[in-house]
Structure 1
Amino acid sequence: MDKDMGTRDEPGPCAREMRPHATAFVARVTARNRLPLDYSVASLRVVDFLIDGLRKGGADRERARETLLGLGAYVGEVLVRRAGAVWVDLDADQRGYFAQPVGVRMPDGRVWNPLGKVRNRFDTGGPEESLRTFYLTLHGRSRRVVA
């Protein structure tokens, strides 16, 4: 499982809000730019590049908070649409572990933390935190596509 090392200082979104949040985020960022955010696995490379751009542009986590949440929602929605995951509200133990209020449950029952994974990529910037690699090495995903 992926764990965000940050602290949680606000309740944050719930599972039922994540798909609309991702959709609104994509509409907002693609209206101004021609970013290929089409919920494909390949689009996760774009997410890596966007996060790297935020880091290189000097944004701190607080200034980038809303963008990181949008990117995390997008990554989670790719897992929902491409890997058979579902958004879930995390229980108290999971919230403590992941430092996030929501995650995704894979078809095999494993719970993953796309919001935290995005924050980790932002914090470290290393290739080991690639969102595309995260998807490709993810355990418990389904081979079917969910729209």
Structure 2
Amino acid sequence: MGKAVEGVPVQGVPYADRMRPCAAALVARLTARNRLPLDYSVASLRVVDFLVDGLRKGLADPERLSGTLFGLGAYVGEVLVRRAGAVWVDFDADQRAYFGQSVGVRMPDGRVWNPLGKVRNRFDVGGSEESLQTFWLTLHGRARTSAA
């Protein structure tokens, strides 16, 4: 990756502290003209599935959508932060190589997850196996006191 595109970080640059504002900016942009229920609830992950599917069906150039897909990934990660007890973390070199992203979330049990990549997989592959709502349901390492 070269320079940042619409808030997408340059590979290797710390961005964990910028993810919450990135998610908030996406929510503000998407809800300004639409009444989308993007309220950081677990149920809102189904809305993200529908949004990604709509982008996918629109056959738009993935590079043109990189900022939007990144923002949706930030939103999914922020749901994990708020509902599962995760924290945003900057990936180390090995994690960046494995996940293909600079940032992700660490769950209370220490596992790391890649919500940015999960959104990109939903866009690239589609299908129920890449559902963000299913991702939540099968997610290991959540805090037991999480609110749905």
TM-score, normalised by the number of residues in structure 1 = 0.90
1:60 aligns with 2:61: yes
- Aligned partner of 1:27 in structure 2 is 28
State the distance in 2 between where 1:27 and 1:143 align.
30
Question: What displacement does 1:59 show?
Answer: 1.1
- Aligned partner of 1:101 in structure 2 is 102
Report the number of matched residues. 139
1:116 aligns with 2:117: yes
State the distance in 1 between where 2:34 and 2:14 align.
26
State the distance in 1 between where 2:91 and 2:108 align.
16
Question: What displacement does 1:126 show?
Answer: 1.2
State the distance in 2 between where 1:48 and 1:62 align.
19
State the distance in 2 between where 1:15 and 1:84 align.
15
- Aligned partner of 2:43 in structure 1 is 42
The one-letter amino acid of 2:105's match is V
1:125 aligns with 2:126: yes
SS in 1 for 2:144: coil
Question: What displacement does 1:60 show?
Answer: 2.1
Aligned ranges for residues 76-87 of structure 1 at < 5 Å?
A: 76-87=77-88
SS in 2 for 1:32: coil
Seq. identity, %? 78
TM-score, normalised by the number of residues in structure 2 = 0.90
SS in 1 for 2:109: coil
Question: What displacement does 1:67 show?
Answer: 0.6
State the distance in 2 between where 1:125 and 1:145 align.
28
Deviations 1:88-137 (A, max 9, x none): 00000000000000000000000000000000000001110000000110
- Aligned partner of 1:73 in structure 2 is 74
Larger RCO of the pair (alpha carbons < 8 Å, separation 6+): 1
Which has more helix, going by share of residues? 1
State the distance in 1 between where 2:67 and 2:129 align.
23
1:142 aligns with 2:137: no
State the distance in 2 between where 1:136 and 1:127 align.
13
SS in 1 for 2:25: helix
